[in-house]
């Protein structure tokens, strides 16, 4: 059974911990997010952001949001393979924050990992 996205109400940020692609050390960022069909989505203004490069190297990440802490699988979306989801997430972000351009990353919770920390 998949972890359901919690009702986050006014939550504006999530905390994403990636593993450094060179150092292997945990790297945490605070970032705007949206939710869609049980996954969380974040958008990088620049495709060259260090955290994006980390996600491309290590897809196992940690997410902290709305009092929950869980492991997730991160995936950079592409227009070619994920066009509909990509456009939906960009529109959700525009509605929530007034901005939705950039590289979209999907963060799908790993079932049974709430409260655990492996990153």
Give the model's pLDDT for residue 49. Answer: 95
- Which helix or strand (DSSP H or E) is residue 53 part of? helix 50-57
- Average pLDDT along the chain: 90
Q: What is the CATH number of the domain that holds 85?
A: 2.30.110.10
Above 90 in pLDDT, residue 106?
yes
pLDDT at 3 over 90: no
| pLDDT exceeds cutoff 80 at 5 | no
1 belongs to a structural domain = no
Domain limits at 68? 13-109
Instruction: Please tell me the pTM assigned to this model.
Output: 0.87
Query: Closest Cα partner for 15 from 86, 72, 97, 77?
Result: 72
Q: Provide the domain count of the chain.
A: 1
Per-residue pLDDT tens for 50-75?
Answer: 999 999 999 999 999 988 999 999 99
pLDDT at 2 exceeding the cut of 80? no
The residue assigned the tokens 């620049």 is: 46
Residue 9 is predicted with a pLDDT of 56
């Amino acid at each position: 059974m998949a972890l359901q996205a919690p009702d986050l109400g006014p939550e504006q940020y999530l905390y994403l911990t990636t593993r450094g692609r060179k150092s292997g050390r945990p790297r945490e960022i605070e970032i705007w997010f949206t939710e869609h069909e049980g996954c969380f989505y974040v958008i990088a203004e620049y495709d060259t952001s260090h955290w994006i490069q980390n996600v491309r190297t290590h897809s196992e990440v940690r997410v902290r949001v709305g009092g929950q802490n869980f492991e997730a699988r991160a995936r950079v979306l592409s227009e070619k393979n994920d066009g509909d989801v990509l456009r939906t997430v960009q529109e959700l972000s525009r509605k929530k924050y007034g901005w939705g351009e950039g590289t979209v990353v999907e963060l799908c919770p790993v079932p049974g990992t709430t409260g655990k920390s492996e990153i």
